[in-house]
Each structure stands twice: as structure tokens, then as C-alpha cells.
Structure 1
Amino acid sequence: MRRGRLPLTALRSFESAGRLLSFTQAAEELFVTQAAISRQIRELERSLGLALFERHHRSVSLTENGARLLVRLTQSFDEIDSALRQMIPSSAAASLVVSAEPGFAACWLVPRLDRFRALRPEIDVEILSDSRVIEFRTSRAELAIRHGVSATGWPRVEAQRLARSLATPVLSPTLLAEGPPLRHPEDLTGHTLLHEDGRLYWAVWMEQAGIPSAQTARGPLFNDGALVIPAALRGHGVALGDLVLVKDDIAAGRLVAPFDLTVSLGSYWLVAPRFDRLSPAARVFADWLHDAIS
């Protein structure tokens, strides 16, 4: 395999999972999801035409080929790490400016930024919270994270999809316990609905649920999801929560999603003038972002 085609991200995922004999621990070590580790290893096995792991019910073990590859990779990564540490002065640092949608920045990126810093402490990231169309010629940002329907929503840039945006009603467990019961979507008419940037999103969800959209004509209105979610957390009403942004709150029990019905609101996109001309720091951040959100 030619050097230019070496699957370095997949090799790093395999080395960590093989050394720890755990996809979950490898995900924690590399600050990405277990799904990202599994995907990278499957792609590596597919490209090699070899099985590297034996999958058991709740564990994995290395095949003979996997064990041989692990020895060489671990030694190579250790040597690379040692060489880099000797070359980079302790005071050396790179900086990266990233422009991000306010809701995405507050609810997803900032809570995970310490993971990136732990992985790459030499890169200082500056976050600019902004939802306007990015104009890189006049912005200090090298990368932008935007929400939109398609990759062609911004002029003179390239865009890569980070995650699809799906929304569903969410509310605090206290409001669910003490407020009007929520057994069926129609029961939402007894609750205060929290609206983001107009009332269209709730109208679309209600239409899919078979509820007259006139039921969405009332309720507090906020201009960004970064304001709607805190209001829902405080029990002020029911928000139409973007699952990318509220996933952690649902997992932690701070919010509850009473219905399975979701509505598509587009996608989150990573935007740059040219991805093949990113600085080293921007390339590292972009790779981490794709893995962490997958």
C-alpha cells in the first residue's frame, strides 16, 4: 500500500482498540464515539481483506494477523510520538479560529472542547459564535460550522456534512411528572410550546403527527436553539429539540423525549474555502470533529 493511501485514522483506531482490547475504551482514549472506532476498524479490515478482531458477545480478541499488526503499529506510534515530542518546544502552540452556530457551539462543541484539548494541547481553539453566512475573506475563522438544508447553501466554499439534524419534543422530567400527561402527541396542546426562530418547526412536526398546525400559534419565541434548550431544562415548556444538541441532556436524564416521531431540519455542515488547503491545526480539528460527532 502506498504511503499516500495509508489509512492513518483507521490504523490509530485499531492500535488503540487492539492495545486495550476494547472498542469502548479506545473511543474514550481517542475522544470519539464507539461507532467511529467500529467503523474505522471495519473499513481497515475491508481494505486489507483480513479479519483483525474476533468479535465475541461482550468482548473482542485479536486474530493472529491483528496481533502481528498491533506490535508493529504500537512500536511505530511510540517512535513517532517520541520524535515529535523532541522536536516541538514545550512553549510551541498553534491557534485555530472556528466560527460555529450559537446553538451548536453552546450545546455540543463547548462541552467537548476539553476532549480535543486533552488530545492536542498544543492547539488553541478560539470559537466565534455566529449563524450568519460565513465570508472567509473578511473573517478570522479558518473553519465554520453551519446549519442548512444542503451543501450548496453558501457561496465560494466547500462543505462536508457533519450530522443530520432531527428534532423531537423534549421537556424536563419535572414538567413531565407535574404537568398535563403526555401519552399522545395530541396531549401537547395542553403544554406551553417553546419556539425557535419562528414557529415553522413546530408546525412541521405537528403536521407529521396529524395535529392541526394552528395549535402552534402560541408560546414563547426565541431566535436560537441555544436559548430554547435552557428554557426547556428549566421547565418553562416543551421544546422541539435537535437531537444533535440535546443527546447529552437526554442521556443524563435532564430532558425527556416522550415521542419517537422526529422531523428533519437539515444538517450540520463543516465549511471551509478549500479543504485541501487547511492549516495543519485545522486539518487535525476537522478530523477530530468528524470522528467525535459520528
Structure 2
Amino acid sequence: DRLVRSFDDIDRVLSDLAASPAQSVVRVSVEPSLAAVWLVPRLNRFRQLRPDIDVSLEVDVRPIEFRSDQPELALRFSAHATSWPRAEAERLVSTVDSPVLSPGLLASGPPLEKPIDLRHYTLLHEENRQGWARWFQAAGVPADAVAARGPMLADISLSKQAALLGHGVALGDLLQVGEELASGTLIKPFDIDVASGAYWLVARSLRDLPEPAKAFAEWIRSEFAVTRRAA
């Protein structure tokens, strides 16, 4: 399935990155869904740009304190820069959420012409039900009418996979479902987007990074700039 292939891609790219020796190493902590969907497909671009720097990618969601035995950089999702009180955080891209579902589910399911029609569909939740509640509020629908049911999944990777399989409607981070929307494997039925937070570049001090980490940080900024322009 797509999620398994995404993590297989992580293994393959990391193996490729380790195939030839480099002079320096940068350690980066990144959340699993962002690693699988966004970062791993782009890692070879950094390798081509800086073949002298190896990337040690650590997939994790736990808080990071940037001790000497931890990565120099982290890529994290949060609504607030103050989520890391003892570190510096730089906003890379703001994110918005919108419902997405498979064409097959849309074709076989009840009519989906207005947001309230989602009450007839299974809603896929991430961690809690607050995301859907915010979206229904923006759409002018009483959240308690539809947002209090449906399975809860760990992150967007799982909810996206469930949506691709036709198991329900996911509230998709448009950064992470953009490829599926472009290919038509997922459909966005409503033009109602709700701000959900941002992806951040986090470090103990972004102004005082070792050279390999500084080079990777500059590359990350440029890649997210391309992503913002394409959105």
C-alpha cells in the first residue's frame, strides 16, 4: 500500500545516501508523516547539491532538547512558535486543512453537495476531533451534528491512506495530500480551507549552527519556498 511504500522509500533513500562516504554529517529529527510524504522524495536533491554532507534522518515526534547527543535540527508541526521555549523556531510554511476523499467513495456514497452532507460519511480523525470541529465551524455547520464520530488515527499518513482506500473522509493537510489531489486519487469536495498551524525549522540556535547543519537549513528553506509557490 502507499504508506508501506512511503516508508520503503525512506529506507531506500537513506541507503543511497550512505552508499558513498562524505566528509560531514547533519542530524535531523523529523515527524514521520512529513518525512514520508515531503522530505524523503527530495533528499537526493540535497545530496546532489552537497555530496560532502551526509544526512542522518531520525523519524520522531517526541520533544527534542538539542543536547549534544541529539540532532542539530528538527522539522516539526505546531500552531505556535512558542512550542519550543528553549530553542529557536522559524516558520517554513503555514498549513491549511480541507476534507478529501477518494473518487470511488464519492461516486458510491450519498450526495455530497453541502458541508452538512458529510454527516452521511465516516469522518477520519487525527489524534482528537478538534480539527473537524474547527472545519465545521468555518463551514457554518454545528460541529456536534457530525464531528463527534469516526475512527481516530495517529497522523495524516494513516488518515490519508484510509481515505485512499475509501474508508472515509480525511481532513487533509493540503501540503501532504497535494500529490494525490493533483493525480486525482483524492478529491477536495469543498473550497473551504481552515488554517491548522505551520511546519517549523527548529534548533537550539539557528544563528549558530555548524556548517553542515547550516547548509541543510538553507536547503530546507529553499525547498519549502518552492512548496509555498506551488500551493
TM-score, length basis structure 1: 0.66
- The superposition leaves residues 212-253 of structure 1 with CA deviations (integer Å, 9 ceiling, x where unpaired) of 212111111112222211111211111000011111221122
Residue 293 of structure 1: SS of its match in structure 2? helix
What are the residue-to-residue correspondences of 1:1-294 with 2, within 5 Å?
A: 91-137=21-67, 139-214=69-144, 215-294=146-225
Structure possessing the higher relative contact order (Cα contacts under 8 Å, 6 or more residues apart): 2
Equivalent position amino acid for 1:275 in 2: L
Unaligned runs of 5+ in 1: 1-89
Between Structure 1 and Structure 2, which shows a larger proportion of helix residues? 1
- Report if aligned partners of 1:168, 1:243 keep a CA contact under 8 Å in 2: yes
Q: Contact 2:22–2:51 at 8 Å: present in 1 too?
A: no
Q: Structure 2: where are the runs of 5+ without partners?
A: 1-19, 226-231
- Deviations 1:73-92, CA, capped at 9 Å, x for gaps: xxxxxxxxxxxxxxxxx844
Q: What is the CA–CA distance in structure 2 between the aligned matches of 1:126 and 1:230, rounded to whole Å?
A: 27
Give the RMSD, CA atoms, in angstroms. 1.6
1:114 and 1:169 map into 2 onto residues whose CA distance is: 31
CA distance in 2, matches of 1:282, 1:97: 8
Counterpart-to-counterpart distance in 2, 1:239 and 1:251: 16
Identity %: 52
Distance 1:237 1:284, change over 3 A: same
